[in-house]
Amino acid sequence: MLKLYDIAVQSRLLLGTARFPSPAILAEAVRRSKTEIVTVSLRRETSGGKASGAFFDLIRELGVRVLPNTAGCHSVQEAVLTAKMAREVFRTDWIKLEVIGHHDTLQPDVFGLVEAARILTAEGFQVFPYTTDDLVVAEKLLEAGCRVLMPWCAPIGSAMGPVNPMALRTFRAHFPDLPLIVDAGIGRPSHAAQVMELGYDAVLLNTAVAGAGDPASMAEAFALAIEAGRLAHSAVPLEPRDMAVPSTPVIGKAVFS
């Protein structure tokens, strides 16, 4: 069981809802992934005009918890305003906080991120910040009131997978009891299993599922990989060795001359 702020969930997969080929495919992907939490970009969906109403109706019909996000915001003011609008629309204090600082990598503006997190937590929001794997930034976010962190493993939508596993391992070790969700850059189920084996609590995906040839099947594949990675971490896998170790016992074997 994973507890995020005051809510407990079974699934460790959080699924984004953007760029799916159709509402029906999105609905099927959500069902097959067994996710309990989906992210929704208020800015992106409200820009769709009349279609946005049908989209929000679909999300409500799916019976999942909504984690609104501030995707597309490049300033503290934009992010805070978007978060307040999202709270009105979805009736939730949860917000996935993004303050983008670089147009090419979509890396967060960590200074703006901390400032926005401080403002929002003071106003009663429960903030899920999209951040880098920088430990100092992470500490500042905790000081600002965040109780969940969402470090990236690669640029958003890049599908590169963990580009710095050592940084992710160090991040996990530094915050052993804090809920940590890997967000951004995962492209394959094997990537998801890899970060779960490092001891992360959950994975947030969007492009890797929505952009697949069969999004619903890919969503199910990710769900299984995340479960496998979590189970493997709990089972304490062997660490790599620099030499061969025989799996067959050598003591007590018959000797033929």
Q: Does residue 251 form part of some domain?
A: no
Q: Could you say which of 50, 96, 140, 253 is catalytic? A: 96
Of the candidates 167, 107, 117, 164, the one whose C-alpha atom is nearest the C-alpha of residue 140 is 117
Asked if 96 is an active-site residue, the reply is: yes
Spacing of C-alpha 217 from chain mean position: 19
Query: Which two structure tokens, joined as six digits, stand for 43?
Result: 């800015």
**Residues 6+ positions from 90 with CB-CB distance below 8 Å:** 40, 66, 68
| Domain at 137, CATH number | 3.20.20.70
**76 located within any domain:** yes
- Known binding residue 206? Answer is yes
Query: pLDDT of the chain along its 257 residues, tens only?
Result: 899 999 999 999 999 999 999 999 999 999 999 999 999 988 655 555 545 678 888 888 889 999 999 998 999 999 999 999 999 989 999 999 999 988 888 899 999 999 999 999 999 999 999 999 999 999 999 999 999 999 999 998 899 999 999 999 999 999 999 999 999 899 999 999 999 999 999 999 999 999 999 999 999 999 999 999 999 999 998 888 888 888 877 676 666 66
Residue 221 lies in a domain: yes
Check the annotation: does 187 bind a ligand: no
**145 marked among binding-site residues:** no
In the chain, how many domains are there? Answer: 1
Q: Does residue 120 lie in a domain region?
A: yes
- Asked if residue 28 is part of any domain, the answer here is yes
Element holding 192 (H helix, E strand): helix 189-197
The parent domain of residue 23 ranges over 2-235
Asked whether residue 202 is domain-assigned, the answer is yes
Domain contains 95: yes
184 labeled part of a ligand binding site: yes
Give the separation between CA 182 and CA 198, rounded to whole angstroms. 11
Determine the Cα–Cα distance for residues 166 and 108; give it in Å rounded to an integer.
20
39 is in an annotated binding site: no
Asked whether residue 201 is domain-assigned, the answer is yes
CB 198 within 8 A of CB 233: yes
